[in-house]
C-alpha cells in the first residue's frame, strides 16, 4: 500500500480547502461575468467580490470593507505598501525602518529603494528573532516616513511586538503631526487566519495578506490600507479597486480568498490550541531524544504551527532528502532560499554561526496535521540525524576532541 505523505511545510503553502475550491470553480465556470458590466450576472460577481472584501475585513478587524484592496500575491501587497508610501513621501524624508529577519519580499523591496536614494535601517533581532521596541525608537529620525516589521516570522515563527510598536508610533505621530506622520506596515502573511489579528489593536496603517497561506489559492493577496492613508495607485487601468489597482478582478481567486479567510477565522481558536499542544510536545520529544539539537525562535511567542530546530554537525538539505524518502515533506527555512545553499538570513541575524544556520529544519503544521504524523516524525528523525552525523567530518572531530566551541567558532 502506498503510504500517505505527511506534509509539514504549511508555512511555504497550504492545500486549498475543498469548500474554497468549490466556490472558486463556480466563478471560473458558470459565473464568468466581468464585475464591471451592468447585466445581472455581472452584478452578482460584483456582490461576491464585495462579500469577500467584507470577509477579509472581518478577519483582521478592519472597520470598513473599502480598506481592503485585492492584489495578485502577498509579495505584491508588500511591494505596493512599501515602495508607494516611500515614493509618495520622499519630499519630506527618505528613511525607512525594517528588520533583518523580514521575508525577501520586504527585504528586496527595501534594497530596491536603497538603490534609489532611500536610507534603510535594518533593525537587529535578539537570539529569539525579535526586534526591541526601544531599539526601534532610538533609530527613528525626523526624515523617517515608514516602518515595516513582520507580524510572525515565516522561518522561526517568532511573533513580533507589533501592537507595542503601534502604540509607540501613535504617541510619536501625535507629536510629529499629520503632515509628518510615520506610516506603519506589517507583513502579516503568516499570521492572518492562524493567530488573532486586529488592525486597530495593532495600530497599523497597512497590512499584507496572502490567500495561499490560509488554505486559499495561490496568486491572490490583499492589502489593508487604513482610511485616510494616501497610498498611490499601483496599476493605472479601468478603475478597479477604487482606481488604485486596475485590471479586471480575479473574481474566482478573490471569492476563494474571502471564503478561506472566513473559515480560517472561525476555526482559529481551536486550531491554535490544538497546534500549540502538538508543537510543544514535539519540541520536547525531539530535544530529549536527539543530542545536540536546539530550538530556534521563541519558546512561547511563536506561531502555534511552527517548529524550527537545529541539529548540530549536519546540513539541513541532507535531512530534507532523507525525510522525503520516508514520505515527510519539510523545509530547511523558507521555500525561496531552499534550493540555494545560502544559510538562512533569519538564523544568521539571530546570531547562529554559519555551520548551525545550515543545519536547521522547519516543520510547519496545517489543519490536516494529526498527532500520528508527528509520532511518525519522532520515530524516523533520530536515525536520520544519526546517519548524517556518522558521515560528518565535524561530528567525527567532535567525537575525538570534544571541542565544540573551536569547531563551530563560537562560545556556547
Ligand atoms: C509567503 C510569504 C510572503 C509572500 O507571499 P506570496 O503570496 O507567496 O507572494 C511574504 N511574507 C511572508 C512572511 C510569507 O510567509
Which pLDDT score is estimated for 315? 85
Please state the rounded mean pLDDT for residues 390-403. Answer: 84
User: How far apart are the C-alpha atoms of 359 and 408, rounded to whole Å?
Assistant: 12
Confidence check: pLDDT of 412 > 50: no
Q: Indicate if the pLDDT at residue 229 is higher than 70.
A: yes
Give residue 40's pLDDT band: very low, low, confident or very high (50, 70, 90): confident
Rounded Cα–Cα distance for residues 319 and 299 (Å) = 23
Q: Write the pLDDT tens digit of every residue in 57-95.
A: 999 999 999 999 999 999 999 999 999 999 999 999 999
Within 10 angstroms of residue 133's Cβ, the number of other Cβ atoms is 15
Residue 395's pLDDT is what? 86
Q: What distance in Å separates the CA atoms of residue 217 and residue 214, rounded to the nearest whole number?
A: 9
What spacing in Å lies between the alpha carbon of 39 and ligand 1's midpoint?
37
Beta carbons within 8 Å of 26's beta carbon, 6+ residues apart:
252, 255
**pLDDT in the model for residue 260:** 98
Task: Assess contact for 166 and 357: CB atoms under 8 A.
Answer: no
Q: Mean pLDDT over residues 173-197, rounded? A: 97
3-state helix vs strand vs coil in the chain, percent to 5? 45, 15, 40
Contact call for residues 221 and 77 (beta carbons, < 8 A): yes
Mutate to test the pocket of ligand 1, among 189, 214, 254, 261 (most ligand atoms within 8 A of CB): 189
DSSP string, 217-238: -SS-EEEEE-TT--PPPSB-SS
Least confident piece of the model among 128-142, 167-181, 354-368, 390-404: 390-404
Residue 119: phi and psi, rounded to 5, are -115, 120
**C-alpha cell recorded at residue 92:** 519630506
Whether residue 404 is predicted with pLDDT greater than 80 in this model: the reply is no
Catalytic member of 16, 163, 235, 336: 336
Question: Which of 399 and 377 is assigned the larger pLDDT?
Answer: 377
Count CA atoms closer than 13 A to 201's CA, side-chain side: 7
Per DSSP, 331 falls in state B
Atom 6 (ligand 1) nearest CA: 74
Q: How far apart are CA 412 and CA 396, in angstroms?
A: 19
Identify the CA nearest to 145 among candidates 208, 189, 81: 81
The pLDDT of residue 263: 98
Note the pTM of the prediction, 2 decimals. 0.95
List the one residue out of 397, 299, 295 whose CA is nearest residue 352: 295
Is residue 110 annotated as part of the catalytic site, yes or no? no
The preferred substitution site among 152, 156, 210 for testing ligand 1, maximizing ligand atoms within 8 Å of CB, is 210
Q: Determine the distance separating the centroid of ligand 1 and the alpha carbon of 263, expressed in angstroms.
A: 20
Which protein residues are within 6 Å of ligand 1, measured from CB? 73-75, 78, 103, 105, 150, 154, 187, 189-190, 210, 212-213, 221
- The separation between CA 8 and the C-alpha centre of its own chain, rounded to angstroms, equals 16
Ligand 1, atom 8, lies closest to the CA of: 74
Task: Please say whether the dihedral angle defined by the alpha carbons of residues 342, 346, 349 and 351, taken in this order, is positive or negative.
Answer: negative
Q: What DSSP element (H or E) covers 96?
A: strand 95-99
Question: Could you tell me the distance, in angstroms and rounded to a whole number, from the CA of residue 78 to the centre of ligand 1?
Answer: 9
Name the residue with the closest Cα to ligand 1, atom 5. Answer: 74
φ/ψ of 133, rounded to 5, equals: -65, -35
Q: Tens of pLDDT along 291-342? A: 999 999 999 999 999 999 999 998 888 999 999 999 999 998 644 444 556 7
Q: How confident is the model at residue 142 (pLDDT cuts 50, 70, 90)?
A: very high
Give the pLDDT score at 359.
Answer: 78
Q: Tell me how far the alpha carbon of residue 73 lies from the centroid of ligand 1, in angstroms.
A: 8
Query: 212 and 257 in contact (C-beta within 8 Å)?
Result: no
Question: Please, are residues 286 and 378 in contact by the beta-carbon 8 Å criterion?
Answer: yes
User: Reduced to 3 states, what is the DSSP secondary structure of residue 279?
Assistant: helix
pLDDT at 411 over 60: no
What does the mean pLDDT of the chain come to?
A: 94
Q: What is the pLDDT of residue 2?
A: 53
What is the model's pLDDT at position 410? Answer: 44
238-284 pLDDT, tens digit per residue, is 999 999 999 999 999 999 999 999 999 999 999 999 999 999 999 99
Ligand 1 atom index nearest CA of 152: 13
Q: Return the best residue to mutate from 101, 152, 213, 362 for the ligand 1 pocket (most ligand atoms within 8 A of CB).
A: 213
Highest mean pLDDT among 159-163, 350-354, 386-390: 159-163
Amino acid at each position: 500500500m502506498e503510504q500517505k505523505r505527511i506534509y509539514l511545510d504549511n508555512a511555504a503553502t497550504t492545500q486549498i480547502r475543498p469548500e474554497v475550491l468549490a466556490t472558486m470553480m463556480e466563478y471560473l465556470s458558470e459565473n464568468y461575468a466581468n464585475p464591471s458590466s451592468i447585466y445581472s450576472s455581472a452584478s452578482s460577481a460584483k456582490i461576491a467580490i464585495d462579500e469577500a472584501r467584507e470577509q477579509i475585513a472581518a478577519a483582521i478587524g478592519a472597520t470598513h470593507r473599502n480598506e481592503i484592496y485585492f492584489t495578485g500575491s502577498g509579495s505584491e501587497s508588500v511591494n505596493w505598501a512599501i515602495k508607494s508610501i516611500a515614493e509618495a513621501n520622499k519630499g519630506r524624508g527618505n528613511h525607512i525602518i525594517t528588520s533583518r529577519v523580514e521575508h525577501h519580499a520586504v527585504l528586496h523591496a527595501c534594497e530596491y529603494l536603497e538603490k534609489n536614494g532611500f536610507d534603510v535601517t535594518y533593525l537587529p533581532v535578539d537570539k529569539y528573532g525579535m526586534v526591541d521596541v526601544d531599539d526601534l525608537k532610538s533609530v527613528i529620525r525626523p526624515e523617517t516616513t515608514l516602518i515595516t516589521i513582520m507580524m510572525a516570522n515565516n522561518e522561526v515563527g517568532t511573533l513580533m511586538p507589533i501592537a507595542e510598536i503601534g502604540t509607540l508610533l501613535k504617541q510619536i505621530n501625535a507629536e510629529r503631526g499629520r503632515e509628518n506622520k510615520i506610516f506603519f506596515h506589517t507583513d502579516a502573511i503568516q499570521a492572518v487566519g492562524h493567530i488573532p489579528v486586529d488592525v486597530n489593536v495593532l495600530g497599523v496603517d497597512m497590512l499584507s495578506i496572502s490567500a495561499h497561506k490560509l488554505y486559499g489559492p495561490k496568486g491572490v493577496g490583499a492589502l489593508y490600507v487604513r482610511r485616510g492613508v494616501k497610498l498611490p495607485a499601483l496599476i493605472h487601468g479601468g478603475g478597479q479597486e477604487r482606481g488604485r489597482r486596475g485590471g479586471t478582478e480575479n473574481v474566482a481567486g478573490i471569492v476563494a480568498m474571502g471564503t478561506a479567510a472566513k473559515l480560517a477565522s472561525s476555526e482559529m481558536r481551536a486550531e491554535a490550541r490544538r497546534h500549540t499542544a502538538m508543537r510543544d510536545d514535539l519540541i520536547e520529544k525531539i530535544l530529549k531524544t536527539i543530542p545536540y539539537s536546539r530550538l530556534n525562535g521563541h519558546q512561547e511567542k511563536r506561531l502555534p504551527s511552527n517548529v524550527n530546530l537545529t541539529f548540530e554537525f549536519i546540513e539541513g538539505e541532507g535531512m530534507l532528502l532523507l525525510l522525503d524518502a520516508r514520505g515527510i515533506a519539510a523545509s530547511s527555512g523558507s521555500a525561496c532560499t531552499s534550493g540555494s545553499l545560502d544559510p538562512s538570513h533569519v538564523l544568521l541575524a539571530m546570531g547562529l554561526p554559519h555551520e548551525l544556520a545550515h543545519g536547521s529544519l522547519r516543520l510547519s503544521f496545517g489543519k490536516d496535521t494529526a498527532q500520528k504524523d508527528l509520532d511518525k516524525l519522532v520515530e524516523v528523525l533520530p536515525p536520520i540525524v544519526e546517519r548524517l552525523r556518522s558521515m560528518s567530518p565535524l561530528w567525527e572531530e567532535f567525537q575525538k576532541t570534544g571541542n565544540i566551541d573551536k569547531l563551530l567558532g563560537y562560545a556556547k
